[in-house]
Structure 1
Amino acid sequence: MDRPSHPESVARSASLMMRVDGLLEHAETLGRTPVATSEYYGQVLGELAEILEAHSAAVWSVREDSVSLLFDTQEDSDRDRLAAFVEPVARLETDRTVIVPPGVGGRWPNATEFARCIACVSVAPSLRLALDVRLSTAAQRGENIADVVAAVAAVIVEFHRGRQLTRMFSLSVERDRVAGLCQALHSTLDRRRIALDLANDGATALRLDRVSVLLADEFGFRLESATAVQDLNRRANASRAIEQVVFEVRRQGTSLPWTSADQTDEAARAYLQESGATRVRVEPLGPKPGSWEGACGAVVFESFGSEPLSPDYDGVAEVCRHAATALTNAAAFEAHGLSGRLLRWKSLAQSRRSRTITVSIVGVVLALALIPADLELEAHGQVQPTRRRSVYAPADGIITRVAVSNAAQVADGEPLAVMRNPELDLEEQRVRGEIATTNARLAAVRASRGDPDRRGSNSSSAGQLAADEEELKQTIVSLNRQLEIVNRRVAELTLRAPLAGQVVRWDLIRSLESRPVRQGQLLMQVVDPAGPWEIELRIPDRHVRHVLAAQVAAKEANGLPVRFLFRMSPKTTYSAKLDTVNLATDLDQDGELSTFAKVTLNPKEIPDLRPGSSVIAKLDCGRRSLGYVWLRELLEFLQTRVLF
Structure 2
Amino acid sequence: MSTRTPEHVSSASQPDDDAVNRAKQEIQALVQEVVALSKSEIEETDFFAALLEKSISALAAIGGVVWTLEEGQPFKLQYQVNLQQTGLAASQAAQMQHAKLLGSIAQRGEPLLIPPHSGAGEGPEDAGAANPTEYLLVVAPIKTDRGVDGLVEIFQRVGARPTTQRGYLRFLVQMCEIAGEYLKTRRLRHFVTKQSLWEQLENFTASVHTRLDSRQTAFTIANEGRRLIGCDRVTVVLRKGSSYVVEAISGQDTFDKRSNVVRMLRNLATVVVRSGEDLWYTGDTQNLAPQVEKAVNEYVDESHTKQIAVLPIREHDPHADDKTRDRKRENMLGAIIIEQLVDSRAPDGLMQRVDVVRRHSATALTNAQSHEGLFLLPLWRLIGQSRVLVTARNLPKTILASIAIVAAVLAMWLFPWDFNVTADGKLQPEVRANVFAAVDGRITDVLVTEGQAVKKGELLAKQRSSPLEDQRAQLEGEIAANEQDYRSKRAQEGSLDKARTPEADLYDLQSQISQIETKAIALQKQFEILREQESRLNITSPIDGNIVTPKVQELLRDRTVGPGTKIMEIADMTQDWELELKVPEAKMGHVRAQLRELHAQDPKAQLEVTFILATNPDIEDKLAGRVIYIAPTAEAEGEKGNLVTMTVAFNQEELAKLGPEGVATEQAIAALKEHLKVGADVKAKIRCGRKPIGYVWFHELWEFIQSRILFRM
Q: What is the TM-score of this pair, normalised by structure 1?
A: 0.49
Q: What is the TM-score of this pair, normalised by structure 2?
A: 0.45
Structure index of larger Rg:
2
